[in-house]
Amino acid sequence: MRRRRTIGLLVPLLALALSARARSQALPAAPFASGEVTFAVIVSNAPNFTGHVPVSEAAFTGAELAAAQGHAVVRVADMRTGIGLRDHHMRNAMEADSFALIRFELLGVTPGAARGDTVEVSCRGRLTLHGQTRDVTAPGSVVIGANAVEITATFPVDMTQYGIKPPTRFFGAVKVQPVVTLTAHLRFGAAAAAP
């Protein structure tokens, strides 16, 4: 009976300890390994599409998740949707020759619930797109390993708030909707071995 009571007391204490550990999770010092941003686009009177762009540069600082800051950069010219002409129209709309980079500055992380090595987070930062900077809050998750960190976050971007006119075709019959959903996935740590 005494043993059951002791175990019964240990379980809540262990849960509290794990919860506290997740909120102040230590981050390993890890170099940028790889990353990609996908962008989901809604189109009126035509199929919706998803594009991809590799992350060209990223880094973070902070010994604990709640203190993390950093940045990630993609090149507009690297954005691909699977159709060359559509990519060309997209780069023209974004004026890629004048505004070659998209940059996200991570200013703070609010850790949430933890499950094992995965912590739900809210990432607060600034997105610079088309030469204009706006505040962004992106919900996501962080997976923390002994020597690696993986971050996934998703947030909507209204192109018109950044001075971008969504492309139209066929005298306005086909219109790209202004809100695009971005999902960023970044990995810090040793690069994954090739299959």
Question: What are the extents of the domains in the chain?
Answer: 2-188
Residue 47, pLDDT score? 84
Its CATH architecture, for the domain 2-188, is Beta Barrel (2.40)
Q: What is the mean pLDDT of residues 35-56?
A: 93
Which segment of 64-73, 107-116, 172-181, 185-194 scores lowest on mean pLDDT? 185-194
**Is the model's pLDDT at 73 over the cut of 90?**
yes
- At 175, the pLDDT band (50, 70, 90 cuts) reads confident
More confident residue, 126 or 13: 126
One-letter-per-residue 3-state SS of the chain: CHHHHHHHHHHHHHHHHHHHHHHCCECCCCCEEEEEEEEEECEECCCCEEEEEEEEEEEEECCEHHHCEEEEEEEHHHCECCCHHHHHHHHHHCCCCCCCEEEEEEEEEEEEEEECCEEEEEEEEEEEECCEEEEEEEEEEEEECCCCEEEEEEEEEEHHHHCCCCCEECCCCEEECCEEEEEEEEEECCCCCCC
- Whole-model pTM: value is 0.81
Question: In whole numbers, what is the pLDDT of the chain averaged over residues?
Answer: 86
**Is the model's pLDDT at 110 over the cut of 60?**
yes
**Is the model's pLDDT at 137 over the cut of 50?**
yes
